[in-house]
Structure 1
Amino acid sequence: MSTDRITNDDLYTHMLMQWGQFIDHDMDLAPQAISYARFSDGRRCNETCENTNPCFPIAVPASDPRIQNRECLGFTRSSATCNTGSTSLFFNTVAPRQQVNALTAFIDASNVYGNSDRMASNLRNLASNRGLLREGPASVGNKRLLPFDDDTLEHIDCQIEPSKQHVPCFRAGDPRANEQLALTAMHTLWMRRHNHIASVLNRINPHWGGNKIYHEGRKIVGALMQHITYTHWLPKIIGPKGMAMMGAYSGYKPNVNPSVANEFAVAALRFGHTLVQPVIFRLNESFHEVEEGHLPLHQAFFSPYRLLEEGGIDPLLRGMFGRTAKKRMPGEFFNSELTEKLFKLANAIGQDLASLNIQRGRDHGIQFYNDYREHCGLSRATTFEDLSAEIQHRGTRDKLQALYGHPDNIDLFIGGLMKPLWKVPRSDQHFCALLQTLPRLRDGDRFWYEKSGVFTPEQLVSISRRHGSSVLCENSDGITRVQADVFLRVDNDSEYLDCEQIPKLDLRQWTDCCEDCRTRATLASFAARIRGRRSTEYSYPHERPVEYQTQIDEFLPSNH
């Protein structure tokens, strides 16, 4: 799986990968077993090579060129749900082991706000009563970073470079926010996005309380993430045919089970690991490498101090939309930073993401690739030549035969990576798993942003005109140029647009009338005078009466 050779994608930016990780962390998390240690002797799973629950070590062959002094890589199993697997003994039943999703499966920005009342409360700035999220230290341009993680019960160690000053982990809605710096930058961006929206809502609706502002802001942020994912990101993943097969949104379906399939979480969506570049690009205002240089990926893991000391989030964000994703090619699946140096600074031996993905599928009891060929409409392969239509590269088929011996033994994750996802027929198993899960998350969500009544027609038009570029322009440290679609690469700097050319979210559509306006000088009383003309009849600015548009433009700053 590992490669030192990288082919750059000719169409898509590194943001395609980064959005995939960010949105995945909004949908699923299989927590590790509650006990990280074996009951017999108390050793943790990274300290033993015995296959004893909850440990499921990955054997290292004697011929391994990198690891010579260890027999295994440590691995902890995912938690089992009650009354399944070994826990079923307490209930006098025998049931297959099943795993729990610790997150809400919906795309609802839980990675920004948390997936429980406790997490959400800890992330809020409750002292101000303005509906804001907590902020941390100042960054470039006095913009704020995420708050530090001061909860000792959920503390993750980010002090892994002894020579650097002590900077704790940042706190966000998902505990994985500190995994690597580009992901941390995305979390920072969307925390600011909420606070920007909440500040404007507070200004145009001063009669709203903090709770209403918070929840309305959260509703808007969730809608923006849904829109960006399904309108701008997903078509680049499954292509026009895939979008046609998934179909347009046709309303809430209460009988749809809106959950994440196990195969989706541990195999299908992990295709994104093959798009990861071996470096975290950091670019200045001229889209050239910053003075501190690009970062080898293993130096970007759990390193929050770099946001404070090395230029904030903008160089990282520019690196995502200003540089290309890694292209998946035969023999070029996982860059060696992921297979040889994963979390190297925090472990005695660097981990191997490809091996971890395979082992996680086995931990979850995922069926084999051949089983899913049948499930998704292909014939079952009896020889490796039977795979030639889907796995066209002969060298890859030969390697699979040498490793697995028979097609029945191929792991689902491995079999599904052998052909680029956006060029596959409907029957491809990754394609099949994506198309079975993604429509469910949309159609089974009773708060989906396009559902009738969730937003007014005017609000929905405003949301539907937004790209990820507007979020970058409004909530970065100071980015001033970006392409219209941050997932598509540009060939030269002239294709970047000034942020003034990027449409911004029109929050005037959320202006609310105070029912009992006690002072005529308030903004709420102004809103009451114009409320009657804010109907679907005037959804577009050029259709509104001139006097109405003039009143709004004079009262509110143009950038809102």
Structure 2
Amino acid sequence: MSSLPRYRPMDGYNVNPDHPTWGTLRQPLEYISTPEAYADNVSSTAGPHRNSARYISDVLFTSQFKFNVISGASGWFPYYGQFLAHDMILQASSNVTFHIPVPRCDMGYGFDPNCTGTATIPFTREGGSVTSRGYFQGQNLATSWLDLNLVYGLGDNRTSYLRTFSDGKMKTSQGPRGELLPFNLPLFDNAGPMTPNMFLAGDPRCNINLPLLALHTLFVLEHNKWATTFKQRNPTWDDETLFQEARRFTIAIHQKIAYYEYLPKLLAHGLEPYTAFNPNLSPAIDVAFMTAAFRYGHSSTNQQVYRMQESRVPVADGPLNVADTILNPQEYRVNGMDDVLRGLILEPEADADDNMVEGMRTHPILGDMAAVDIQRGRDRGVPDYNTVRQALGMPRARNWSDVTSNPEYQRRLAIAYNSVDDLDLYVGGLSEDKVGTGIIGPTFNALVTAQFLRTRDADPYFFMRPGLFSTDELNKIQNRSLSSMILDFTQVKWMPSDVFALEQIPTASSASSTSVATGFTGIFSPLPGYTVSWAITSDCVWTVQIVSTRGGWAGIGFGTQMAGSDVILCYMNGGAMTCVDSMVVGQFETAPTSDDEIGHTNDVLPGTVTGQILGGVLTAQFSRRCSTGDSIDHVITRAMTPMIFAHGPTPRPAQHGLFGRALGTVNLFTNQAALSNEDVFHLSTTSAAAFSSIGFIFLALQALTLLAIVGFRKTRAVFFQGPSLLITMLLGSMMISGTLILTTVEQSASICAWRLFLSSMGFSLIFATLLGKLYRYNKIFYNKSALTVKVTNVHIVSGTLIFLAVDAILCGIWIGVSPMKIASEAPNTCSDSLTATGISTVLLIVKGVILVGSVWLYRNLQALEGRTASMFKSDINMTGQISALSLLFLAILLLVNEVSTSTVFQRTILLIQCIAALFVSVVPYVWYACVKVVFLLDDRKARKSSHVSEAIASTNMAAKGYTSTKKTKGDTKVAGGTSVQLGDSTSESATAGDAADTKGLQSDVSKNFRIKLDEVQKALTEYNMYDQLAQKSSAKFNKLKSELLQMEAEMDFRNQ
């Protein structure tokens, strides 16, 4: 092969130097999988004796609308298929008409309201010519490579206008919430109205619908992102180099999404792995692929376009009708594309079948897309359904049941066609049963597989070909997705990693009707990744299909709680899907037991169980009669019925964790469905991530505070609060943060046990320590004169350890006597039993005693006033108020749980954890308490100043001679209630009398205190004797007085 240029040619010419015209524009569309079937073997349309395409559309494509619950695909899926199709195919048109006759009156569907019988739907034949092969071949005006020519254009004037020619970027316009495509100001040819209100892209069809327009926009913004990155790394590169390098990476990302995200879901198996470039393989577009198989997306389009706010709540104006968005991009001009992007991931893809929504069948511009697709196949000489199957090596269908297993489709097909051998390929392919969990049936599957293998293996620029990208570059390409583009280029804050997978709305309020055979079939998505659909036949057989993205097991049942519920559990057993009719026996036995193990019968109908686990998605189907005759089975009626739903990732039914259970109310006949208010936590994936993040943040803050307390334990601020007490409370707080994190992980027996121990012991470490502190304050202030037992920090920690031992014993007994079993009745919950009830009660009583004791001690301290009490008033208030609030919270939660259906374990964990969570703020408490110490001494000083004012006043009077001729007595009170006699004065120079009487001093005043008191007396004497030193003596007196008061406060606290 000749040397390959670094950059792919924009017009597709010379992509393969050995065959330079392969894949370029204006190449003929080939009959690769099947022969041509023109009526005259040259150009006359195929199937001239078949019924009108509009008649077939009226008969077949008005069947009941269904969502594709098997694949679990989102509303994004068909639109990305359309994006791929536009990248590979742009059919040339002609002036030759081939209008579609409309049946008289049009069966009431609107195209012949006056019943003239002459109405038609406009249709023109494809452009092309009779080639050397001897028959007509259409032209492809796009390159057949996956090269994003629909974004960049083909290197012509259109491409030039789309480029800025600065830093390698493409033009954009500013929308209300971000950048959008440029407007069509030069009025290039575009599908639809030729106005500057339309957007402009490399392909004229970009405005056909809003999701397609969004994809065009995202890839333009992705290109500009790469251009900016390369400019920053290579400032000397010119515009053309930047443009081509950015284009190179953007095309690679497009190919990655197509082959590794889109096609595996479409085909249910993906393609065989890529091996090498095949220079002798043509990428030509197959006519059968183009006109039938890859037009499946018209049937997969929904009637409405969801618009969602960031909260996943619909916008005030609700969804848009799809017909109103076709060739009308006004929504993006006014509101931007964010709401539509969110809505697409929450909107299920419509089933690719013999149904097409009215917005696609009765559009004033497009006409009837079902009829157009049928007519296009006839225009292009596509063979009938059986001929195509035979060409693909598949057996011919002999009757309608060979085409589809759906009796309603069989009936409608028999009305529309005279014979199976006359069936249009487009109609037959959509009628087929799906391949596994794929989107399409076997015939379309084969056609799509063959085309994309050719497109990939014939492309020397396919991104996985060795040597094109380095390992690091390939990693960057693999890490890009539509999800990351949306998050980067819009104001959307959350998007699942796979936008093609349906993200269910947890607050779903209704089920959707999905069948016309009985009128009772519905679909409901009570959980993220869990979809259940059902049908009830005329003889009252309930058929259920469950799709779970957790890929382990899934269950559905009747009841408001697991105890006493009638449950059907589905899982793989020995390589086959098994669905078991089960029952939760007794009040405390929560693990479901098979009905036949308890003397009843497994009433799942034999031969109705099917399913598989493919690609991590479980699909299970079973049937059961509305009334089985088994006394423990629920009888299905036309009333709203409480139902429970659960799924999990384990191979057999087990604890489903926080995200795996829902309770709803459903009418299986009328399809009404709603989620019920649950008595347990039920978080979305995003909420769980936030919950876990909060736990880690608290844990980090608590750990840092703990290190700070240990490091500064000898400083006055920390020492005054007691480092051991602060450390104890911080350890308890860290345990509670640990339970926040454990709540969000997949539950197991060991996780349940850890949550029980951590939450219970963390509570005790926090609140038992607070109880000890309040007890010490009571001992200090009510028993000071006769203290025989000092309440030290060691005593408080020891008391806390006693409560901790009680917790360990109670929890140990719970685990030992009634081991944790992985129950399935509620998320965030472990096993329940009579023993568990008793232990739970004792645990809650112990916690209540701690809180009640704290509140009672706090109440006693409320009346305290005075010297040391005032210093610790703020700490007392904070400690007591937290305990009081927690006690009130405990009472409220007990009252609420008394009428709920939570299990004992659930109730216990939540009560303890929620109350203790109030004190997760122990970090700010610790810092507040330590900082408060700095201000305590100043507060003490202010309160004591009034007690020495008399002494200062008396001294000043003596110094000024007011007591020279008369005897006065001055008593002043100093700390501890001790009277200090200042003495008698008989003259101006009289000195102080006898030394201060110290008999009133308390017995436990230390020697240092006495020394300081003597110095105070000396200072007062100096005041009386030396008038000139009065000011200096006063300052010294104040200093000594302050030291005296400080020492007294410290002595009081240390003695306790």
> What is the TM-score normalised by the length of structure 2?
0.41
- Displacement of 1:280 in angstroms is 1.2
- Displacement of 1:122 in angstroms is 2.3
Contact 1:252–1:444 (Cα < 8 Å) also in 2: yes
Change (3 A) 1:440 1:421: farther
Q: Which residue of 2 aligns with 1:260?
A: 285
Alpha-carbon distance in 1 for matches of 2:306, 2:64: 17
Q: Which residue of 2 aligns with 1:364?
A: 380
Q: Which residue of 2 aligns with 1:460?
A: 474
- Displacement of 1:422 in angstroms is 3.7
Instruction: Give the one of 69, 75, 90 matched to 1:29.
Output: 90
Match of 2:161, SS state, is: helix
Match of 1:224, SS state, is: helix
Q: Which residue of 1 aligns with 2:325?
A: 300
Change (3 A) 1:116 1:67: same
Contact 2:172–2:179 (Cα < 8 Å) also in 1: yes
- Alignment: residue pair count: 445
Alpha-carbon distance in 2 for matches of 1:499, 1:222: 33
Alpha-carbon distance in 2 for matches of 1:62, 1:322: 40
Alpha-carbon distance in 1 for matches of 2:102, 2:223: 46
Q: Which residue of 2 aligns with 1:139?
A: 175
Contact 1:132–1:195 (Cα < 8 Å) also in 2: yes
Match of 2:125, SS state, is: coil
Contact 2:128–2:137 (Cα < 8 Å) also in 1: yes
Alpha-carbon distance in 2 for matches of 1:153, 1:208: 31
Alpha-carbon distance in 2 for matches of 1:76, 1:313: 33
Q: Which residue of 2 aligns with 1:435?
A: 449
Match of 2:342, SS state, is: helix
- Displacement of 1:209 in angstroms is 0.8
- Displacement of 1:492 in angstroms is 4.7
Deviations 1:88-124 (A, max 9, x none): xxxxx88211111111111111111113433322211
Match of 2:349, SS state, is: strand
> Which has the larger Rg?
2
Q: Which residue of 2 aligns with 1:546?
A: none
Match of 2:111, SS state, is: coil
Change (3 A) 1:324 1:491: same
Instruction: Give the one of 411, 414, 439 matched to 1:401.
Output: 414
Contact 2:300–2:350 (Cα < 8 Å) also in 1: yes
Contact 1:483–1:495 (Cα < 8 Å) also in 2: no
More strand by share: 2
Match of 2:247, SS state, is: helix
Instruction: Give the one of 117, 128, 136 matched to 1:80.
Output: 128
Q: Which residue of 2 aligns with 1:41?
A: none
Greater relative contact order (CA < 8 Å, ≥ 6 in sequence)? 1
Change (3 A) 1:94 1:227: closer
Alpha-carbon distance in 1 for matches of 2:216, 2:686: 24
Written as runs of structure 1 = structure 2, the 5 A alignment for 1:472-487 is 472-476=486-490, 478-487=491-500
Q: Which residue of 1 aligns with 2:141?
A: 102
Alpha-carbon distance in 2 for matches of 1:422, 1:255: 31
Q: Which residue of 1 aligns with 2:393?
A: 377
The amino acid across from 2:180 in the alignment is L
Alpha-carbon distance in 2 for matches of 1:63, 1:219: 54
Q: Which residue of 2 aligns with 1:219?
A: 248
The amino acid across from 2:461 in the alignment is F
Alpha-carbon distance in 1 for matches of 2:252, 2:136: 35
Query: Does residue 488 of the first structure (1) align with residue 501 of the second (2)?
Result: yes
Q: Which residue of 1 aligns with 2:78?
A: 17
Q: Which residue of 1 aligns with 2:337?
A: 313
Change (3 A) 1:354 1:157: closer
Alpha-carbon distance in 1 for matches of 2:441, 2:217: 38
- Displacement of 1:448 in angstroms is 0.3
Query: 5+ residue gaps in structure 1?
Result: 37-53, 85-92, 160-165, 501-560
Query: Does residue 67 of the first structure (1) align with residue 106 of the second (2)?
Result: no
Deviations 1:38-87 (A, max 9, x none): xxxxxxxxxxxxxxxx0001011114122225521110111014x44xxx
Written as runs of structure 1 = structure 2, the 5 A alignment for 1:140-539 is 140-141=176-177, 143-152=178-187, 154-158=189-193, 168-240=197-269, 243=270, 246-309=271-334, 311-328=335-352, 333-340=355-362, 342=363, 344=364, 347=365, 351-381=367-397, 383-384=398-399, 387-423=400-436, 428-476=442-490, 478-492=491-505, 494-496=684-686
Contact 1:13–1:320 (Cα < 8 Å) also in 2: yes
Alpha-carbon distance in 1 for matches of 2:305, 2:375: 26
- Displacement of 1:272 in angstroms is 1.5
- Displacement of 1:171 in angstroms is 0.5
- Displacement of 1:427 in angstroms is 9.1
Contact 1:194–1:221 (Cα < 8 Å) also in 2: yes
Match of 1:275, SS state, is: coil
Deviations 1:367-405 (A, max 9, x none): 111101111222334x42xx4244112332232222221
Alpha-carbon distance in 2 for matches of 1:395, 1:254: 47
Contact 2:404–2:433 (Cα < 8 Å) also in 1: no
Match of 1:144, SS state, is: strand
Alpha-carbon distance in 2 for matches of 1:186, 1:147: 14
Change (3 A) 1:140 1:119: same
Q: Which residue of 1 aligns with 2:152?
A: 113
Contact 1:273–1:334 (Cα < 8 Å) also in 2: yes
Change (3 A) 1:104 1:80: same
Change (3 A) 1:261 1:462: same
Change (3 A) 1:375 1:155: closer
Match of 1:197, SS state, is: helix
- Displacement of 1:180 in angstroms is 1.2
Match of 2:128, SS state, is: coil
Query: Does residue 7 of the first structure (1) align with residue 7 of the second (2)?
Result: no
> What is the TM-score normalised by the length of structure 1?
0.75
Change (3 A) 1:496 1:216: farther
Q: Is the deviation greater in 400-409 or in 105-114?
A: 400-409
